[in-house]
Amino acid sequence: AQSVTQLGSHVSVSEGALVLLRCNYSSSVPPYLFWYVQYPNQGLQLLLKYTTGATLVKGINGFEAEFKKSETSFHLTKPSAHMSDAAEYFCAVTRRAGYSTLTFGKGTMLLVSP
């Protein structure tokens, strides 16, 4: 079985500050990992993914995440927050092999203040 824990249902930052959204996973086999962003009343947009290779993954809109196997983590970061980053962020995991589907974390709402 696999699961995802996102620490903090809400994270507040000031514009220009570092964004750090935390994600820890539990999986019996090395997983594939994803971050999605959702703006109000819209679908989910894939920000970035880790499948294999380099553990530091760069995504869209200046976001990046680092896969740390020893810490079972895949935290999302952005050096400087922009007002347009305010949205809900979901971390998700799936098994590398076999008949699998995405397991989502509960989500973290990012609030950006001027």
Partner 1 sequence: DTEVTQTPKHLVMGMTNKKSLKCEQHMGHRAMYWYKQKAKKPPELMFVYSYEKLSINESVPSRFSPECPNSSLLNLHLHALQPEDSALYLCASSQDRGTAAFFGQGTRLTVV
Give the interface with partner 1 as residue ranges (CB under 8 A).
Answer: 32, 34, 36, 41-46, 49, 51, 90, 94-102, 104-107
| CB nearer partner 1, residue 77 or residue 100 | 100
Min separation Cβ 61 and partner 1, Å: 16
Min separation Cβ 93 and partner 1, Å: 10
CB contact at 8 A, 27 and 2: yes
| CB nearer partner 1, residue 19 or residue 37 | 37
- Residue burial 58-89, b: 16+ Cβ < 10 Å; e: rest: ebeeebbbebeeeeebbbbebeebeeebbbbb
